[in-house]
Structure 1
């Protein structure tokens, strides 16, 4: 087996104003079609899926606030590996980002967001992010309006700006030696867009004081989130209990309890926090 992961500094913190969801949409649409070009296969979404199924390979993506991770898992036999790498390289270097697929995905995401508006946990998480991070990019959440506004040009511009070798970290684990790994790196990185690094991420402002936000909901359970900006990933005091991010991520306590027990649950949590401090 061979596992390959490429991370780009292309997470949701780079979403422009009124375009929340752009980073995630771009990542998800990379594998829905590619353009025929030097070193790239021109493939439809169905052809990509068929080729991967034939050789037993999987391509997946993950998006967080700071980065996008694109992963390939394939058999290491030369014929299987090379076929999978040809598809993966085409997705990385020559995405078509088809308009038809964008329309489909926008509708899917908007439907999911509309459903989440009635879910107490989703409402609590959105309010929590906004309260902890304010106007900082970490505090933004996609909504139906921002998703509906996305265009193919937005996606291609975002790809060109952020899916670059300067923004990439490549990890290769599995059945290959160093010369093979170097050839794989060259194949995947050589035709990525060239763009200078973008503007630095603004600092996360510390909270000026405590606040309490109550959202009314008919659910039988109360969903409670407590937290604040914590420390950045590179902080010398960082340890794995916190959520790592390029800027201070959030320290968060989350719980659910019956509506009539919410006050008592909060009292117990605050007692525990005072004991830890």
Structure 2
């Protein structure tokens, strides 16, 4: 039944002194699907997610293809239509959903763990994933919904800023393409395109199955085989190309009539699993990821009154994720806001954090982290990521320990090495006369 097995114990200490332990067990099914399982018996529930390396980075020359596949995936097989499928899940009180991002496509299920409920639900889900046939009427409906969403984005400054930012920092990399597609690409995607993408990417060798809940190991093995046995073995796609950093700073201007200008400043960050992630995460929390206690909130909101909301964010992926600073600011205050955003980042990189601010941020990170694991569903997200990105099984324990052991020099050193203000992209979405007045 299994080809190899790994086990790892992760323990996260909560702020109340208790301990949450998750013994991650891992194996592969006979046809090559990777499975990670955590037994938790507090509730008679099973949460499951199957992730495929089938996100928008695999769209090729058809932006929106992966998103459309996931949006139509649950809408019919050769034997049953969308209504029949939905009623079968509802009969057993199960909740199922599908979605996609840049790296992965996911199908999620929550069900009662009683075999009389769980077995038919898993059988149904397996049949739907393997046998999705993308009915013409469902494809037409989803295409129309995606087009409507794209049209609405044309009147959203934040959506325009996001698209322009991704395109600018990623250049010709697949991450640059909008996962939701474009007004030009979506109408051209056919049912045959969806079927071909599904046949290529929704295969066992390209699947990671994560299971958290009220099951034994033997039950989980049976369920994983039941879920994936209908998938062709297939093969995983080639790794994505490496993301290159921008060669020089650039200001991207998107005209948009509004009383405020949307600002994004940043660059590609690091890939998932890079050791620099930990000090960069810490540095980002100090800068603008810690909410109202962060430097950007103090400088932009409390001291200058420039913006109600300013932030920084660090994300990772199969290849480099992104670092960004963002705000919305009154048009007449744009120049001052850009000076504060850029200056605050440079100051933190060049001078490092104070001892007091470092310890306040450390307590906030380590104290709030266990709250992100307080349910099966939230733990499931981390288990999926651990499997998909081949992270160590004690990743969650490592995260807390590494944050505890970082000092100011380590945080400052990582920011100096990986964040380059002189090469960052700035995206401005606002009135033409306002954004054109900003120097390059």
The bucket for the TM-score relative to the shorter chain is over 0.9
Q: How does 1:234-245 map to 2 (within 5 A)?
A: 234-239=273-278, 240=281, 242-245=314-317
Q: How does 1:148-163 map to 2 (within 5 A)?
A: 148-163=187-202
Per mean C-alpha deviation after superposition, the further-off stretch among 178-187 and 249-258 is 249-258
Secondary structure of 2:255's partner?
coil
The equivalent residue for 1:38 is none
Q: How does 1:59-138 map to 2 (within 5 A)?
A: 59-138=96-175
Q: Distance in 1 between matches of 2:341 and 2:137?
A: 49
Q: Distance in 2 between matches of 1:34 and 1:20?
A: 25
Q: Distance in 1 between matches of 2:319 and 2:98?
A: 22
> Larger radius of gyration, structure 1 or 2?
2
How big is each residue's C-alpha offset from its partner over 1:155-179, in whole Å with a ceiling of 9 and x where there is no partner? 1111111111111111111111011
Tell me which of 135, 150, 167 is aligned to 2:206: 167
Answer yes or no: is the 8 Å Cα contact 2:65–2:194 preserved in 1: yes
Q: Distance in 2 between matches of 1:70 and 1:244?
A: 21
What is the CA distance between 1:46 and its match in structure 2? 0.5
Q: Distance in 2 between matches of 1:187 and 1:82?
A: 9
Q: Distance in 2 between matches of 1:169 and 1:213?
A: 38
Q: Distance in 2 between matches of 1:135 and 1:143?
A: 16
Q: Distance in 2 between matches of 1:80 and 1:272?
A: 55
Q: Is 1:27 matched with 2:70?
A: yes
What is the CA distance between 1:11 and its match in structure 2? 0.5
Q: Distance in 1 between matches of 2:240 and 2:139?
A: 28
Tell me which of 181, 203, 227 is aligned to 1:188: 227
Q: Distance in 1 between matches of 2:319 and 2:111?
A: 34
What is the CA distance between 1:200 and its match in structure 2? 2.6
Tell me which of 203, 209, 229 is aligned to 2:242: 203
Q: Is 1:3 matched with 2:40?
A: no
Answer yes or no: is the 8 Å Cα contact 2:206–2:234 preserved in 1: no
* Bigger fraction of residues in strand: 2
Tell me which of 244, 259, 269 is aligned to 1:220: 259
Answer yes or no: is the 8 Å Cα contact 2:53–2:236 preserved in 1: no
What is the CA distance between 1:129 and its match in structure 2? 0.7
Q: Distance in 2 between matches of 1:84 and 1:197?
A: 27
Secondary structure of 1:181's partner?
helix
Secondary structure of 1:223's partner?
strand
Structure 1 unmatched runs, 5+: 36-41
Q: Distance in 2 between matches of 1:194 and 1:150?
A: 26
Q: Is 1:14 matched with 2:51?
A: no
Q: Distance in 2 between matches of 1:198 and 1:13?
A: 11
Q: Distance in 1 between matches of 2:331 and 2:216?
A: 58
Structure 2 unmatched runs, 5+: 1-44, 285-313, 350-440
**TM-score of the pair, normalised by structure 1:** 0.94
What is the CA distance between 1:230 and its match in structure 2? 0.9
Secondary structure of 1:215's partner?
strand
Q: Distance in 1 between matches of 2:326 and 2:191?
A: 37
How big is each residue's C-alpha offset from its partner over 1:61-111, in whole Å with a ceiling of 9 and x where there is no partner? 231111111100011122111221122111221111111100111011111
Q: Distance in 2 between matches of 1:133 and 1:265?
A: 25
The equivalent residue for 1:39 is none
How big is each residue's C-alpha offset from its partner over 1:98-150, in whole Å with a ceiling of 9 and x where there is no partner? 11100111011111101111211111111101100011100012112110011
How big is each residue's C-alpha offset from its partner over 1:37-67, in whole Å with a ceiling of 9 and x where there is no partner? xxxxx22100111122221111112311111
Q: Distance in 2 between matches of 1:276 and 1:58?
A: 45
Q: Distance in 2 between matches of 1:276 and 1:84?
A: 52
Secondary structure of 1:3's partner?
strand
How big is each residue's C-alpha offset from its partner over 1:202-246, in whole Å with a ceiling of 9 and x where there is no partner? 111111010111212112121111110111112121235521101
The equivalent residue for 1:50 is 87
